[in-house]
Amino acid sequence: MPIKNFRIYLSIVVIFLLFNLSNAKSQTNETIFVNEIGIINTCIDSLKNVTNDSIKEKLNELITVTLSSILRSSNSFKMNLDSLKHIGKVYSTDDKFRVVSWNIPLSDGTHKFNAIIQLNPEKDSFCKLFVLKDSSPNFKGSIANISFTADKWYGALYYEILTSKIDKKNIYILLGMHFNDLFTNRKIIESMYFDENGKPVFGYPVFKNNGKLQSRIVFDYSVNAVMNLKYEKRMQMIIFDHLAPPSPLYAGNYKFYGPDFSFDGLKFEKNKWVYYPNIDYRKSKK
């Protein structure tokens, strides 16, 4: 292990130990919260200077443990987490849960994704958490109809969550970002629900495209391009850039794909999110 990396990791461990030693009963919840936020931000900052993946994994474990401690407390569901650096926070539209997510860049150009689902607790009770474990490196082919669980999750950074009532249960639509490799990024429209045991399941056949149902929609495109994917409330549609290569010669080679200045969309109709091509989105924004 390089000396610089070792010193960074050692400093984080020392901070963590000092925090635990100082976590006395005399401390207020607010003080504990501030200390834990400080640990997480120190880990995030340290990742910028670490090149060894094993050290990054250790720092990531510390982030996960400390963040779980924050989110488990009974008064934390509405706690403002804006002071956390480079960590996304998004609530479901029905306020049943929120997802806190972050990523760790690895030396081979891929990323390790992390997320915690925090359920809205009953009054004065501790929050129930699901720590999601990224297994995306294990899936190289199509993931359009694969079912994932908290322990086997296709990682993404979620930034918007919609709620749909389908088959008498809530099906959540999550819009997310996935840094795929050195050449391509991914945007994902994910479906999720809670099973009869209250556990999250990713993948529900709710997207209808050309008469076929699928559980999620994945877009691959060049790292040099920017793809827009969002819910447009005025249109009541999920709107996204149509992706295409600059020439038919590059068809299927997604490191050349990017927006072609047209838009497609999904509209919720008859308990399904139905795909519509060539949406006149620019006109609708006027």
Write the pLDDT tens digit of every residue in 81-93.
999 989 999 999 9
Query: What is the pLDDT at residue 21?
Result: 43
Same domain for 180 and 93: yes
Give CA–CA dist 118/192, Å, rounded: 14
DSSP 180: -
The pLDDT value recorded for residue 47 is 85
Please tell me whether residues 112 and 79 are part of one structural domain: no
Query: Do 276 and 210 touch, CB atoms closer than 8 A?
Result: no
Which are the contacts of 209, defined by CB distance < 8 A and separation ≥ 6? 217, 275
- Is the pLDDT at 275 greater than 80? The verdict is yes
End-to-end, the C-alpha distance of the chain in Å comes to: 57
Tokens for 154, please give them.
Answer: 């296709």
Is the same domain home to 92 and 205?
yes
pLDDT at 120 > cutoff 60: yes
Looking at the 3D structure of the chain, how many domains does it have?
A: 2
* Distance separating alpha carbons of residues 76 and 132, to the nearest angstrom: 19
How many Å apart are CA 150 and CA 117, to the nearest integer?
A: 9
Is pLDDT of 24 > 50? no
User: How many of the other CB atoms lie within 10 Å of CB of 48?
Assistant: 9
Q: What is the DSSP letter of 225?
A: S
217 and 125 within one domain: yes
Tell me the two tokens of residue 239: 């709107």
Whats the size of the chain, residue-wise? 286
Distance CA(175)–CA(188), nearest Å, equals: 6
| Residues 82 and 95 reside in one and the same domain | no
CA dist., res. 176 & res. 186, Å (int): 8
Domain stop point among 23, 54, 86: 86
Residues facing 266 on adjacent strands: 238, 275
> Does residue 246 surpass a pLDDT of 60?
yes
**Mean pLDDT for the stretch of residues 100-129:** 91
The CA dihedral of 20, 25, 31, 32, to the nearest 10 degrees, is 40
> In this model, does residue 2 exceed pLDDT 70?
no
**Strands 97-105, 88-91: pairing kind:** antiparallel
Whether residues 78 and 106 share a domain: the answer is: no
Is the pLDDT confidence value at 6 over 70? no
Domain stops at, among 63, 86, 109: 86
User: 74 versus 10: which is more confidently predicted?
Assistant: 74
- Taking residues 59-72, report their average pLDDT: 92
pLDDT of 7 above 70: no
Of 1-10, 115-124, 235-244, 256-265, the one with minimum mean pLDDT is 1-10
Residues 131 and 238 in one domain: yes
Residues with Cβ within 8 Å of 146's Cβ and at least 6 positions away in sequence, in order, are 139, 154, 203, 215
67 and 102 inside one domain: no
Average pLDDT in the 97-110 region? 94
**Is the same domain home to 76 and 109?**
no
% of the chain at pLDDT higher than 90: 69
Same domain, 216 and 275: yes
Residues 237 and 249 occupy one common structural domain: yes
Q: Do 107 and 5 fall within a single domain?
A: no
Range of the domain at 52: 1-86
Q: What is the pTM of this model?
A: 0.88
H/E element, 161: strand 157-166
